[in-house]
Each structure stands twice: as C-alpha cells, then as structure tokens.
Chain A
Amino acid sequence: MSHLPEKNSWQICQHCGKHVHDLQWAPYFRCPFCQNLQRLSNEQRLKVTVDADSWHEIRLNAQTTNFLDFPNYSAKLHEAQNKTHHGEAIQIGTAKINTFPVALGIMDSHFMMGTLNTTVGTAIRQIMQIAKTQKLPLILFIASGGARMQEGIFSLLQMNTILNQWTEFENDRQLVINVLTDPTMGGVSASFGFKSDYVLAEDHAQIGFAGKRVIEQTTHEELPDKFQTAEDLLTHGLIDEVVKREQMRTKLTTLLRLHSGG
C-alpha cells in the first residue's frame, strides 16, 4: 500500500480553510486548528451519541412526493437521497444512551438542509406518538434551514400541526430534550425547536428565526459578533446550556438519569 493518503481522506475545514486528515476529524469532527465543528451525517451522530448496536430505525409513515409539481424538486430529492442514503431529512427510531432507552429523531442538514416538509412533520408526530406509547424520553437532534419551499403552504402548516399535538404529548409528563445543532432556523426554530423541557445547543451552532442575510438586508444593521450562535443565545437566556459535542453523550446521560427516578 502506498504511504500516500487515499482519496478523500483529507478535507478542507469550512471555517478556517486548513486541510484536516480523516484521523484528525474522527469521531467528533472538530477542526484541530480552529475548533469549529463539521456538520455530522446521521450515522456519525449515532456513533458518537448512542450505545453501539442499540439503534433501531423506525420506518416513516409517509413518503415524499412532488405533489405540487414544483420545478426541479424531484431531481433535488433524488440527489439528496443518493447523497445521504436516506429517504428524507429525518430518521426516527429507538436507541440506548448509556443504557437509558430513548426515542430519537435525528435531522440531517445534508438532506436539503434538513428542511421541514410534510414527511418530516409526519415523522416528528410519529416519534412523539412512539415516545408516548412506549413511555420513552424523547430526544430530538435538530438541524434545519426552516420550512421546505417546494411543498409551499403544506410545509408551513407542519409548524402548527406539530404544535397542535404538542400539549397533549407534554401532558403525559414525558421528558423531551431538544439538541439544537447547526443550523436550526426558521420554521423549525419557531415551532418545536424551543418547546422541549430542556433546550441544549451544540457549540458554535447557528440558531435563529430569520437568516443573517435577510436581517442585514431588511434592517441595514451591522450584526453583532457571534450573532445567532449557540453561545450568544445562552447569554441572552434563550437556551439551557451549550454543550460541546464531545460532552453531549455524558450530559444527556445525566439528564436521563435525573429523570429516571433515581
């Protein structure tokens, strides 16, 4: 075997532009030079979060179709499905975190920026239902650019259809933890994003309602340093804690233990 690295084993850090080797990335995908994080695929997320072999994926009740015949949507969907090997921007299932059983929803920013459409919305309601009937704590790893334009008003209406079921779900005294990862924006942030018992955010994640560019263009204000970062939201009292990716599993375990009755 050649001593030269194989193809693709070096990647450029999106933040500082330095070349980082696979071995330096893994498993948390933090740049050793600038300390910024790379966005994780769902497989990578599971690997650093749940106990080995404990993940049981649950099939989604819904499938995505281009029912509005929106130009290019079908092609984009195919592209995203090929890239991620998943049917949609969310996977749901059950798993164990340090032996604590949980229901999980994991959104994938690599699938059309994790946008909320009718299927993703249905999946969220599905995992809420599963958590409720199986009496499992629910953990949602959120990554989303907002509502998916290609399904128009139907994407928008996911926001209220999810929230319309939320209260009933909460009345069941089920533990819900949201982990906001990069990015958590728009219709997702303004619906179920902050409505959990605990809102944790991964360090450096971008979190907000309106995009930075939109704010700049509409207000002509200069945006403050660290605007819409997890750290900034913590300072403004909007989230419970910023958790480093390396610490996420431990912190989740603590919360699960504190709510498991001993």
Chain B
Amino acid sequence: MAKTLEEKIKLIRSPKRLTTQQVISQLVTNFFEVHGDRQLGDDPAVSAGIGLFHARPVTVLGINRGTNIQQRREVNGGAVRVTGYRKALRVVEAAEKFNRPVISLLNMPGADASVFSEEHGQSEAIADLILKMGQLTVPNVALFLGEGHSGGALAFSNVNQILMLENALFSVASPEAVQAILKNRNQTQDASEFMPMTAQQLEKIGLVDNIILETPANNLIERIDVALSKALDQLRDLDAAQLKKQRLTKFEKLIEFNKNEQ
C-alpha cells in the first residue's frame, strides 16, 4: 500500500523505527566502536567502527537519531556536528588503508546547525567527507533506514550504491522546508509531488539502486542483510579506479539523463 508523504514522515521519525544500533547489533559481529575526531571531541550522533559482516571486516558509519527524549538530546536528534564529520573522515581513511568496504546507515534530519559547528568549520568538514567518499579506493554503500537531507546526508551517501527502505526519504532539504516554499505560493500539494524524494521516486531517476520492502516486518533485518551482501558482492571485483569512476559517472549520468528527458 502506497503511503502519503505525511505517513512516511511519521513512520520514519517514530521511536519504534528500526535504528542504526539494531542493524549493527544484528548484522555486524565483533563491532568495535571508535571515538573522537582527534581535534575537538566526539559526536555521539555518529557511531563509527569496525566489525565483521558475513565474516568480512567492514567499516560502519551509523547515524543515531535516538529513540527517547534523553537520547535524542544526547545525539542532537541525529544532526551531525562538525566533530561527527571529522570522525567519519578519519574512519573512512582507515578503511582505505586496511582495504575494507564502508557501510553508512542513515536516519538523520541533516547536518547540525549550531554556533559550535559553524565556528569550527562545518562547511569544510562536510565537503571533506563528500570529497573523500567519492575518492575511496574501497567500495562504499549507503542504506537509508529513515530520512536524510541536505549536504549533511549527502556526505554519507556519495557512494557506489544507495539502498533505501521502502518509506525512506532523501531530499535537498527537509520536506517541511520544501513545503514552506510551496505554501508561500498557496500550494497545498504534497512536497514530493514536485521533488523526487521518496525511495520509489529516487529509484526511478536512477539514484537508488535497491529498495528494501518493510513488510512483513518480522524478517526485515534478513532482507537488509541480503540487500547489503548483494551490493557488496557486486562491488567486490571492481578495482580502485573502477570504483571512483563508477561514482563519478553514476551521479553525472543520472542528472544529465533526467534533465534532458523533459
């Protein structure tokens, strides 16, 4: 059953939504979390670490949004701070050194908007992670468990393959921000009507490689397992140059194609 944007938003922001922590604990063994960006501090919104996925070492970047008020406050609702981007950068550089794939797991509003992050170079921290993710010599895959918006989410998803749960969203700005622009114009329509942001729309434009169905819920984690393994298997045989090239052309081609289709 197709859900409206409003229903999707409610679902992905619910405290009952599948979390990054649940995915890590169920699919990754021997998870060893690392902390800190070595400059300013540690951002708990990003769980960064190494573990075994199907007996292969992988690097995981998990964005936590928190399931109760206390947690949400601690992890800033999943809005990643400058320290989170720098920690992620450090961890993906290590992934390259030890030749292990990177998996990002996302459910986050976007990047942190605060005086602290701004004064310590939030812009460049995001840019550095986008840049590095694109140049990685190892495969990287992003899985959107919920939502991810703006450059803050893009930094974790400049990857070889993007997977999304059925009701996940990925957009240039939060649906509320888009709605606000539309409202000024006396438009009451659903924001996704004008902007591809749902998993289904993004699959259609060629951005999303695989959508994982959310029902039946009891074996969702198994379907995630299968989808992630499949993605990593498909990328396994590509060498460093091919991986970079694949990212470069994936994004350029889909923009070109969709722009010219009209």
| Interface set of A (CB-CB < 8 Å, partner B) | 62, 65, 67-72, 118, 121, 147, 149, 151-161, 163-167, 186-187, 189-195, 208-211, 214-215, 218-219, 221, 223-224, 227-228, 232, 236, 238
Q: Is B119 an interface residue (CB 8 A)?
A: yes
Whether the pair A159, B154 counts as a contact (CB closer than 8 A) is yes
Choose among B112, B172, B259 the residue that contacts A149 (Cβ–Cβ < 8 A).
B172
Name the interface residues of B178-204: CB closer than 8 Å to any CB of A: 178, 181-182, 185, 187, 194-197, 202
Name the interface residues of B120-135: CB closer than 8 Å to any CB of A: 120-124, 126-127, 130-131, 133-135
Distance from B252 Cβ to chain A, minimum over Cβ atoms (Å): 5
* Docked CA distance A223–B115 (Å): 7
Known A-B contacts A159-B130, A236-B119; A164 and B173 likewise in contact (beta carbons under 8 Å): no
Q: Is B140 an interface residue (CB 8 A)?
A: no
* Docked CA distance A61–B244 (Å): 24
Distance from B132 Cβ to chain A, minimum over Cβ atoms (Å): 9
Q: Is B144 an interface residue (CB 8 A)?
A: no
Whether the pair B195, A219 counts as a contact (CB closer than 8 A) is no
Whether the pair A154, B255 counts as a contact (CB closer than 8 A) is yes
Known A-B contacts A161-B251, A209-B117; A149 and B123 likewise in contact (beta carbons under 8 Å): no
Residues on the B chain within 8 Å of A118, using CB: 255, 259
Whether the pair B118, A227 counts as a contact (CB closer than 8 A) is yes
Q: Which 5 A-B pairs have the closest CB atoms?
A: A210-B113, A152-B195, A189-B123, A156-B172, A164-B134
The number of inter-chain residue pairs (CB within 8 angstroms) is 165
Which residue in chain B gives the minimum CB-CB distance to A207? Answer: B123
Name the interface residues of B137-162: CB closer than 8 Å to any CB of A: 150-151, 154, 158
Residues on the B chain within 8 Å of A159, using CB: 127, 130, 151, 154
Residues on the A chain within 8 Å of B131, using CB: 163, 166-167, 195
Whether the pair B185, A228 counts as a contact (CB closer than 8 A) is no
Whether the pair B123, A208 counts as a contact (CB closer than 8 A) is yes
Which residue in chain B gives the minimum CB-CB distance to A219? Answer: B114
Residues on the B chain within 8 Å of A219, using CB: 113-115
Whether the pair A70, B151 counts as a contact (CB closer than 8 A) is no
Interchain Cβ contacts under 8 Å between A and B, 22 examples? A65-B262, A71-B194, A147-B151, A149-B173, A152-B195, A156-B171, A159-B127, A159-B130, A163-B127, A163-B134, A167-B134, A187-B151, A190-B151, A191-B127, A191-B151, A194-B121, A208-B122, A208-B123, A210-B117, A218-B79, A227-B115, A228-B118
Residues on the B chain within 8 Å of A192, using CB: 127
Q: Is the interface of B mostly helix, strand, loop or mixed?
A: helix
Residues on the A chain within 8 Å of B171, using CB: 152-153, 156
Distance from B113 Cβ to chain A, minimum over Cβ atoms (Å): 3
Which residue in chain A gives the minimum CB-CB distance to B192? Answer: A152
Q: Is the interface of A mostly helix, strand, loop or mixed?
A: helix
Whether the pair A187, B150 counts as a contact (CB closer than 8 A) is yes
* Docked CA distance A65–B256 (Å): 12
List 11 extra interface pairs beyond A65-B259, A149-B172, CB under 8 A.
A71-B182, A71-B194, A156-B172, A159-B130, A159-B154, A161-B251, A186-B150, A194-B123, A208-B123, A219-B115, A236-B121
* Docked CA distance A121–B197 (Å): 20
Choose among A149, A155, A164 the residue that contacts B247 (Cβ–Cβ < 8 A).
A164
Whether the pair B123, A209 counts as a contact (CB closer than 8 A) is yes
Which residue in chain A gives the minimum CB-CB distance to B201? Answer: A153
Q: Is B68 an interface residue (CB 8 A)?
A: no
Residues on the A chain within 8 Å of B251, using CB: 157, 160-161, 164
Whether the pair B126, A153 counts as a contact (CB closer than 8 A) is no
Residues on the B chain within 8 Å of A68, using CB: 194-196
Which residue in chain B gives the minimum CB-CB distance to A189? Answer: B123
Q: Is B52 an interface residue (CB 8 A)?
A: no
Whether the pair B130, A210 counts as a contact (CB closer than 8 A) is no
What string of 1s and 0s marks CB contacts (under 8 Å) between B243-259 and chain A? 01001100110110011
* Docked CA distance A228–B207 (Å): 34
